[in-house]
Amino acid sequence: MSDQNPATPASRESHAEGHVAVAPDTSDHAMLSMDVGQVGETLLEIDHVTLRFGGVVALNDVDFSIKRGEILGLIGPNGAGKTTCFNVMTGVYTPTSGEVRFNGRAISGNKPHKINQLGIARTFQNIRLFPEMSALENVMVGCDARHKTSVLGALFRAYRVRPTEEQLPANPLKRSLAKVFGISRHTLEERGGRERSMELLKFVGIADRAHELSRNLPYGYQRRLEIARALATEPQLLCLDEPAAGFNPAEKEDLMDLIRRIRDLGHTVLVIEHDMKLVLGVTDRIVVLEFGQKIAEGTPEEVARNPKVIAAYLGEPDDAA
Amino acid sequence: MDFDALINGLDRHTLDGITRGSIYALVALGYTMVYGVMKLINFAHSEVFMVGTWATLGTYTLIGASSGMGVGMIIGATVLALLAAMLASAGTALAVERIAYRPLRKKGAPPLIFLITGIGCSMVLVETFGQVLKVFFGPPFGRVLVNVPAVLPTKVVFTIPGIDLAITNTRIIIIFGAIAMMVALDFFVNKSRLGRGVRAVAQDPDTASLMGVNQDRVIMLVFVLGGAMAGVAALLFTIQYDSTKFDIGFIIGVKAFTAAVLGGIGNLRGALIGGLVLGVVEVYASTVWDSSWADVTAFVVLVLVLMFRPTGLLGESLGKARA
Amino acid sequence: MSIITQYTNRLRDRLDVLPTWVRALGLLLVVALAFYLPYLNVLPFAYIRTDLSATGTDWASVLFLVVVYMIVAVGLNVVIGLAGLLDLGYVGFYALGAYSVALFGSTSSPVVEAIQNKFGLSEEWAVPFAICVPIAIAMALIAGVILGAPTLRLRGDYLAIVTMGFGEIIRICARNLDNVTNGAAGITNVPVPPGPEVDGRPFFNVSEPERWYWLALVVLIILIWMARRLEHSRVGRAWLAIREDEDAAAIMGVAAFKYKLWAFAIGASLGGMAGLLFGSKQQYVEPNGFMLNLSFLFVAMVVIGGSGNILGVLIGAFLLTYLPERFREFQEWRPFAFGVALVAVMILRPQGLVPSRRRAREFEDRKVEAEEAAADV
């Protein structure tokens, strides 16, 4: 347990030693890119959302939207309601009043896996991988979210698909069988999922340890694996919850680069971060929360100049370390 | 179906149910405390209760107690049997913890394994009285029902006027004995220093141990307290039913665990409420249908309660025992 | 790492690098040996037979029971080992399978008699065995879904008690519903699978238990093959993900409830299948054959063998069924020895005798963590 928790001192230390310079990824990852849709169109709308727990007001009339193709930062001091806001967006909490709309559809009250199917994926502030599954299997679970094979389909494999030329197996006997009977959708999806997962691991730069149990991966690898697993579900909107927590400056540089590359694949990205430098460096637009209220919104330059934001962060030294 | 029988004797059946429920509640405390602290169903707890009934029988046999003694002798024998039962049950609970659970805790085994060793211990204890001791000592050990002397003769103490409900001395002892023990335990957990340790571990074992709470000691304490409560329940059980058997723990254990879940596992007062509700429901069901359907009704009630209140009637958590 | 684990891991690594055809041949040999077992009479191997002494039990019948319990273990392994759901009422599904075939297939069951009277059928009429099989499996499966639908939303420990209650309810119903199940008297004349008559007797009869054993073995092999298919597909991955972290799995798009319900239903139908074979061979079912203790025995098989690993649970089922039969002379001592063995094996080897390699590693890690945690304090 303790090794998953980024807050324990032990894991921070081990990760500090264990930082591996990730080789710059130059391949074009054509199979990963997806259609972003109409850039600039509203993707997610937080429409005057208020959330109360008993007498405590966690979010007070928060109102902003995320546009297709952008990287939006959501920042604020500790306890400002960032993660709560995030949980409302991903359907964990239902707002007391107001509405969250994704592609124009209200999503409150949907089950978590439905929200994922709609096209929202997230990572966790305190890493939550499937510790006893290998890195590759973790990502394959994500890929399965888009697969159509049912339980009975996986059992009987009766749903046959006529394979394309490159899907045909090399073995001549199997090849002629596949030509006559087709290949089960299960087999094709399994193979496709495996390839896509490997590609994703390469994309985030951790393919060298694809077959290791995720619990045994170094901290930085685990953070990247979470991103790969979320990307595997082909989200239109990827939400990163403090992705740089516990990273050193060099790793933060890598992460900023990764976030930009994710956007270039066609995903819209929402980043919740504590670290102002990272947020200012990578986002297109920023929303600032304080005490559950939105206090500012705008480009990084505007936000950095906003006196309210400066005041909110003044009491608290920039937590860049 | 015979609802008339239920309506006509409602007061009597309710009293029966509360008596039965008090015993369930006392045994349920053991499940609930262990669960609250370790998140573990202690499957051997039913046998901890069973050992208590044998300790009562043993005490009576040793001091030669029988029905028809003087008042002083009756009180003396009962108190002695109570102490013996509490001691034997607490000792058994402690032994189970040391032998079957602690080694696994040190290895960090998952909960399922604890369950299996619990079942194993339960079988060992049952067979100790059903087989092993019989080989060495002969009767009363063995796989038969054994009579426990009715040291305390049943007498009607008073009759509630109007509804004509006779209250016997054994009922008073069972119901008030059980409630007194539970109040004492509740007080201990909420007010004493040791009790604070128990609540701390229940809330957050890691933080508690950082704050200097000795987790092993707390767990031992919980087993001893739960065992002692089961010992009291064992004595009360023999007062009510005048008998015991090597496998008597099983059914009481299942019922008590159901009661703990019904009330909200990990919650001391939940155990009391759960026990009483279960006891009353069972007696009602066996009046309306017949006694063989009582168990079915009990489980159906449990499922219904869990469907609408997934954490039991009073909610879980020993940590917030004031709930 | 313990010496045994090291040794078995090395052995498995060696087996892994063998060419496919060698492994296939090896598997075929093992299966052939399994089919030959009832006739095993070569010393010293014949010492494993259970009918060497006068008090012993028929060897082929013991083998049959072993295989039936192996089917149970494979089914329960889906529920406990893969999906991580604790089912303490598995005996309920087993009983349902056995009772279904008896209720619909036996000429002396009250249900069949009612149908005879209603439609004016002859005294000889009963639902044919071939139709009883899907009925039995469907009954178990439907019971699994009915039990699972409200309870699988509950947390693990609650599931344990609710399933335990279910197992008891099935038995109590079988005992109390006199005009449906004949109550405590049970039902006789449970039908047997159809087959050519040999020497004027049905192919599957009481005096040739080895035929029953072969039948059960064929069923077992098919079921193992199916279980493995599921395990190595998105379904198996979803189960593992749910077992590891249900909330995270759901957020990654795994329909957790659906997969848990499937695990439950699949486990239930396998339990029903095993019960059906058992009832059919006994040709008699009665409520006392399905006590709650049997559920504990089933869970113990899975856990002792090594939950999550099919080879492990097969070995667990074999040991817990075979050993008590082999040492029948000590009948009175068997439950005691069983209890001692459960505690001893689990304390010495909590990961089970033959854990899946995934589980074996998990245990090593947990142990190190526990030790580190102890050292910190």
pLDDT tens across A170-211, in order? 888 888 888 888 888 888 898 889 999 999 999 999 988 888
Amino acid A30: pLDDT: 72
Residue B318 domain-assigned (yes or no): no
Interchain CB contact of C54 with B (< 8 Å)? no
CA-nearest residue of chain C to A186? C233
Pairing of strands A237-241, A268-272: parallel
Helix axes C209-231, C256-282, angle to 10 degrees: 170
Interchain CB contact of B128 with C (< 8 Å)? yes
CA distance B51 to chain C (A): 16
- Indicate whether C249 pLDDT > 80: yes
pLDDT digits (tens, 9 = 90+) for B64-77: 877 777 888 888 89
CA distance A277 to chain C (A): 29
d(CA C152, CA C255): 13
Residues 224 through 243 of chain B touching chain C, CB cutoff 8 Å: none
Amino acid C309: pLDDT: 87
- Give residue A264's Cα distance to chain centre: 14
Give pTM, 2 decimals.
0.86
pLDDT digits (tens, 9 = 90+) for A87-141: 888 777 888 888 899 998 888 778 889 999 999 999 988 899 998 889 999 999 9
DSSP run (H or E) holding C166: helix C156-176
User: Distance of CA C92 to CAs C136, C157, C170, C209, C352, Å?
Assistant: 12, 18, 6, 25, 25
- Indicate whether B322 pLDDT > 70: no
What is the number of domains present in chain B? 1
Name, in order, each residue with C-beta under 8 angstroms of A185's C-beta and a sequence gap of 6 or more. A148, A149, A153, A159, A160, A161
CB A151 to CB C230 under 8 A?
yes
* DSSP string across A70-90: -EEEEE-STTSSHHHHHHHHT
The reply to whether omega before B140 is within 30° of 0 (cis) is: yes
CB-based burial, C3-31: b 16+ in 10 Å, e otherwise? eebeebeeeeeeeeeeeeeeeeeeeeeee
pLDDT digits (tens, 9 = 90+) for B203-240: 888 888 878 888 888 899 999 999 999 999 999 999 98
pLDDT digits (tens, 9 = 90+) for B146-171: 888 888 888 887 888 777 788 888 88
Interchain CB contact of B121 with C (< 8 Å)? yes
CA distance B1 to chain C (A): 14
Rg (CA), chain C: 22
What average pLDDT does the segment B279-295 reach? 86
Residue of A1, B99, B102 lying closest to C372 (CA atoms)? A1
Residue A48, φ and ψ in degrees, nearest 5? 45, 55
Pick B303's closest partner by Cβ from C151, C304, C346.
Answer: C151
- Indicate whether C377 pLDDT > 50: no
Lowest mean pLDDT among B171-180, C12-21, C290-299: C12-21
CA-nearest residue of chain A to C230? A155
Residue of C69, C94, C98, C92 lying closest to C304 (CA atoms)? C69
Percent of chain C with pLDDT over 90: 39
DSSP run (H or E) holding A51: strand A42-53
CA-nearest residue of chain B to C368? B107
Chain B touching partners, 3 or more CB pairs below 8 A = C
Query: How is residue C201 annotated by DSSP?
Result: B
Pick B108's closest partner by Cβ from C80, C161, C369.
Answer: C369
d(CA A186, CA A163): 12
Pairing of strands B156-160, C187-188: unpaired
Cα torsion at A2, A3, A6, A12 (round to 10°)?
Answer: 120
Percent of chain C with pLDDT over 70: 92
What average pLDDT does the segment B228-257 reach? 91
CB C86 to CB B122 under 8 A?
no
Chain A touching partners, 3 or more CB pairs below 8 A = C
Partners of residue A3 in chain C, C-beta under 8 Å: 369
Pick C249's closest partner by Cβ from A115, A141, A186.
Answer: A141
Chain mean pLDDT for chain B: 86
d(CA B116, CA B99): 13
pLDDT digits (tens, 9 = 90+) for C66-88: 999 999 999 999 999 999 898 88
* Two structure tokens written together for C243: 């077992």
- Indicate whether C59 pLDDT > 70: yes
Pick A186's closest partner by Cβ from C226, C233, C245.
Answer: C233
Residue A22 or B89, more confident:
B89
CB A144 to CB C254 under 8 A?
yes
Name, in order, each residue with C-beta under 8 angstroms of B100's C-beta and a sequence gap of 6 or more. B44, B114, B117, B118, B120, B121, C343, C347
Pick C254's closest partner by Cβ from A113, A115, A157.
Answer: A113
d(CA B234, CA B214): 30
Pairing of strands A237-241, A120-122: parallel
User: Distance of CA B25 to CAs A69, B53, B259, C24, Å?
Assistant: 61, 16, 7, 58
DSSP run (H or E) holding A200: helix A185-204
Amino acid A16: pLDDT: 41
d(CA A50, CA A52): 7
d(CA B187, CA B193): 11
Percent of chain B with pLDDT over 90: 35
Give the domain range for residue B14.
3-308
d(CA B60, CA B234): 14
d(CA C231, CA C243): 13
Amino acid C355: pLDDT: 73
Amino acid C376: pLDDT: 55
CB B292 to CB C157 under 8 A?
no
Q: Interior CA angle at B164 toward B161 and B170, to 5°?
A: 100
Name, in order, each residue with C-beta under 8 angstroms of C279's C-beta and a sequence gap of 6 or more. C97, C98, C99, C101, C102, C190, C285
d(CA B204, CA C157): 19
CA distance B302 to chain C (A): 8
- Indicate whether B45 pLDDT > 90: yes
Amino acid C2: pLDDT: 62
Pick B119's closest partner by Cβ from C86, C296, C332.
Answer: C296
Question: Residue C32 — very low, low, confident or very high, per pLDDT cuts 50/70/90?
Answer: very high
- CATH number of the domain within which B231 lies: 1.10.3470
Amino acid C363: pLDDT: 63
For chain A, domain boundaries: 33-119+234-314
Amino acid C362: pLDDT: 62
Cα torsion at B171, B175, B180, B182 (round to 10°)?
Answer: 150
The reply to whether omega before C44 is within 30° of 0 (cis) is: yes
Q: How many CA atoms lie within 13 A of A132 on its CB side?
A: 23
Question: Residue C124 — very low, low, confident or very high, per pLDDT cuts 50/70/90?
Answer: confident
* DSSP string across B83-131: HHHHHHHHHHHHHHIIIIIHHHHHHT--HHHHHHHHHHHHHHHHHIIII
Residue C29 domain-assigned (yes or no): no
CA-nearest residue of chain B to C374? B106
Pairing of strands A293-298, A285-290: antiparallel
**CATH class of the domain defined by A33-119+234-314:** alpha beta
d(CA C308, CA C302): 8
- Indicate whether A156 pLDDT > 50: yes
What average pLDDT does the segment A144-154 reach? 88
Question: Residue A8 — very low, low, confident or very high, per pLDDT cuts 50/70/90?
Answer: very low
- Decide: residue C93, CB within 10 A, 0-12 exposed, 13-18 middle, 19+ buried: buried
User: Distance of CA A92 to CAs A46, A51, A73, Å?
Assistant: 15, 12, 20
d(CA A70, CA A37): 12
- How many Cβ atoms sit within 10 Å of the Cβ of residue B161? 7
Residues 65 through 104 of chain B touching chain C, CB cutoff 8 Å: 99-100, 103-104
Pick C336's closest partner by Cβ from B105, B107, B127.
Answer: B127
What average pLDDT does the segment C105-110 reach? 88
Amino acid C74: pLDDT: 96
- Indicate whether B321 pLDDT > 50: no
User: Distance of CA A170 to CAs A166, A177, A195, B158, Å?
Assistant: 9, 12, 17, 93
Chain mean pLDDT for chain C: 86
Give the start-end residues of each E strand in chain C. Answer: 187-188, 284-285
Residues 204 through 243 of chain A touching chain C, CB cutoff 8 Å: 213, 215-216, 229-230, 233
CB A213 to CB C249 under 8 A?
no
